[in-house]
Structure 1
């Protein structure tokens, strides 16, 4: 049973994040140290250097040979349900569109497994809870963030292709650069695929987790340890991951006219996706594969963890609803503790 000491440990882990947030906010709003160009540069540093090393560092520490295959199957089913629901909404409703589909997927799929998840699940369910939430983070890094990156790159690549002001000369140049001949407008799917593929190949986030998993497979198979010089080189940047992400969020908030540049309706919408749709879909996936007992409880609760900090970094980098993602991270983290404890109590009573 979780106690006050356990809640304090979680709060103690979360409090430094808000120190970084306040420092980022104050550096722009109060001390006028950075302008918008500086903020963009800091966010790119986080997106392309710190986050990939953070992902690689964390992935190398797991043992892929001891993962819970039923939980993995449940998680895949859960996210498949979310993707299907978003696809139906985007294609068969008047308000559905591709850009909001990306944001909805991020809100309902990417959670804070490390900063909040590990200490909270360990407090609730001991080593079992910690182990399951770490497995969830690996799936998130390897699969779901990759899908999000693919969607974001497609969105970015589609913008100029959908612009009616693009001249025929520019279109022809793009066709030539992509080694595509005789492609009409903008049957442009082939060009789009080439552009997206090239962008993903250049993005270190797209293969950081794969490299980390390969090392984890090799090191656990033959009991190898990463050389100290290599581990130190990775960790010196990766340890700044969560802090720099929150600092960037503070910068972003300070650059807006209002500290929270998001309507109450959108904020509620984000909280519903994060704390209701995500655990509901995980419950369906868990029941479908036969998860029971504490593993079932952990699977559902970890799906209701607050929004992943990295999702804001990507939203800011790709210019897609960063205001909503910042709100989801900040308020989601604030209200997550009582909500997660409520889930814990209810699940222990009902299941």
Structure 2
């Protein structure tokens, strides 16, 4: 399969409008000063709570769950399992490894902007096959992998709360006392010498798993994108099982907002870029680290998973290219909310969008020579 200039042109045509929307968002704040930070926040909320959920619902509802390529989904799961094993080994055995960086590295190497960037890009490259596969990937990412990420972040926050309480206990007076919060109880008993700094700290209970899960499900309940994926795939099951068409009045109401999903998401991304003090917020070293994970480690793991389950032809090519799509914006939102390397994720989103086009065209050209 030879890649011609016409094929590359189609990809450029599909991607250029995304960059135009991003530049307009950036310029509206940085150059023309049309929006202030408060108005920018309102625009971001509009995208988060209206256009993106309806955009996600539209694509989820269009999937035929009875024709899902489960080998493709299995390859995706295997690739993520490979990443998890490598990161767990790194965190356990390397002096530079850590639980927190493992979470961030997982986000960088596996979570992609599959709908906003992936759909127009893969459609230009591989037609409807590319669209179908990238939508399937995005649905599983929203329902499974982002949910797991949210749970892990909540677990990390609970563990951090314990450490904070222990430090507080160590710095308290030498009298016997208890520290109680919503997740655990820490009991402090004085030593033989009565010195507060030498107190023995006894944990009478571990963080409540049910409490952590309650917080996780509360976060999910407040995330309309989770609803959009689940309701959309539920409708897809019903409509394809009993051949029920969506009422035109409902479809029109959804489309009028969902069609704005791509443009407003990229416009919002441009606004976010303009609000940053530095274009590269985390420095060149961490930026390079993030780009290696995003554009090379993720696709390499996906290639292993795809070959393991026997994918071939255009399905194999789509699997590898969709793994190299730019960083998921949702992963940055979570990182910012939980205070875990948000500067690294923001840089990955911004720089990844800029670097994505030439890198993905390169993948497209190289994979085109594979039979």
TM-score bracket, normalised by the shorter chain, equals 0.7 to 0.9
1:188 to 186, 189, 207: 207
**Residue pair 1:47, 1:317 contacting (<8 A) in 2 also:** no
1:220 CA displacement = 0.8
- Alpha-carbon distance between aligned partners in 1 of 2:164 and 2:213, rounded to the nearest angstrom: 18
**Residue range with higher mean Cα deviation, 131-140 or 275-284:** 131-140
Cα separation, partners in 2 of 1:286 and 1:249, compared to 1, 3 Å = same
- Alpha-carbon distance between aligned partners in 2 of 1:124 and 1:205, rounded to the nearest angstrom: 27
Query: What does the per-residue CA deviation read over 1:3-34, in whole Å, with 9 as the maximum and x for residues that have no partner?
Result: 33333333233223333323333333334444
2:188: which partner in 1? none
2:283 to 245, 263, 285: 263
- Equivalent positions of 1:9-88 (< 5 A) are 9-88=10-89
**Residue pair 2:75, 2:302 contacting (<8 A) in 1 also:** yes
2:226: which partner in 1? 206
**Residue pair 1:279, 1:303 contacting (<8 A) in 2 also:** yes
**Residue pair 2:82, 2:301 contacting (<8 A) in 1 also:** yes
**Residue range with higher mean Cα deviation, 101-110 or 112-121:** 112-121
- Equivalent positions of 1:243-322 (< 5 A) are 243-322=263-342
1:161 CA displacement = 4.8
Query: What is the root-mean-square deviation of aligned Cα atoms in Å?
Result: 3.1
TM, length-normalised to structure 1: 0.84
**1:332 aligned to 2:341?**
no
2:196: which partner in 1? none
- Alpha-carbon distance between aligned partners in 1 of 2:48 and 2:335, rounded to the nearest angstrom: 10
**Residue pair 1:60, 1:216 contacting (<8 A) in 2 also:** yes
2:94: which partner in 1? 93
1:224: which partner in 2? 244
- Alpha-carbon distance between aligned partners in 2 of 1:334 and 1:194, rounded to the nearest angstrom: 38
1:343 CA displacement = 2.6
**Residue pair 1:160, 1:166 contacting (<8 A) in 2 also:** no
**Residue range with higher mean Cα deviation, 20-29 or 31-40:** 31-40
Q: Give structure 2 stretches of 5+ with no counterpart.
A: 170-176, 186-201
Query: What does the per-residue CA deviation read over 1:61-115, in whole Å, with 9 as the maximum and x for residues that have no partner?
Result: 1111111121111111111111222233334333333433332222111223334
- Alpha-carbon distance between aligned partners in 1 of 2:203 and 2:50, rounded to the nearest angstrom: 38
**Residue range with higher mean Cα deviation, 205-214 or 326-335:** 326-335
Higher strand share: 2
2:180: which partner in 1? 171
**Residue pair 2:183, 2:208 contacting (<8 A) in 1 also:** no
- Alpha-carbon distance between aligned partners in 2 of 1:321 and 1:44, rounded to the nearest angstrom: 22
- Alpha-carbon distance between aligned partners in 1 of 2:266 and 2:111, rounded to the nearest angstrom: 16
**Residue pair 1:51, 1:205 contacting (<8 A) in 2 also:** yes
Higher helix share: 1
Q: How many residues align?
A: 345
**Residue pair 1:108, 1:277 contacting (<8 A) in 2 also:** yes
Cα separation, partners in 2 of 1:323 and 1:8, compared to 1, 3 Å = farther
**Residue pair 2:91, 2:98 contacting (<8 A) in 1 also:** yes
TM, length-normalised to structure 2: 0.80
**Residue range with higher mean Cα deviation, 138-147 or 237-246:** 237-246
**Residue pair 2:3, 2:368 contacting (<8 A) in 1 also:** no
